[in-house]
Amino acid sequence: QEKELDGIIINNLKNVYYLTGFWGSNGTVFISRDRQVLVTDARYIIAAKQEVTGFEIFAERDELATIAKIAKDMGLSRIGFEDEISVSYYHRMQTAFEGLELVPQTQFVEALRMIKDETEIATIRKACSIS
């Protein structure tokens, strides 16, 4: 909200895992004020439904088209995205999100990942004691 975005696309797999608990080689997250969506392909749909709570889960080949349709149906206009993407992926985004403003975001989820909860701290301590 402080960045004045209507939603954000997360496709870095480490960040997808951090947000959802889903660890597959194909997953994209879309988060808006009203919806949390995970889009993966059919290979991972069963695992995603078992591992992920609090997200709508879609099995689609074209994750960007799916997310763009959701954003447009919701009347959103300003969509953030992680800025560490390939040029070809950015071109796909421009096509899918035509008519919407795409806003690059640097270290959006990474800033959240720096804040550790008690479970994460305990895991780090355990790992340090083993090594």
Residue 2 lies inside a defined structural domain of this protein:
no
Residue-number span of the structural domain to which 52 is assigned: 7-130
pLDDT digits (tens, 9 = 90+) for 41-67: 999 999 999 999 999 999 999 999 999
Highest mean pLDDT among 24-33, 65-74, 77-86, 113-122: 65-74
Can you say how many angstroms the Cα of residue 118 is from the centroid of all Cα atoms in its chain?
A: 24
Residue 88 lies inside a defined structural domain of this protein:
yes
Residue 39 lies inside a defined structural domain of this protein:
yes
Residue closest to 42 by CA, chosen among 31, 32, 27, 55: 27
What pLDDT does 79 receive?
A: 96
CATH number at residue 13: 3.40.350.10
Total domains, the chain: 1
Measure the CA–CA gap between 127 and 104, rounded to whole angstroms.
35
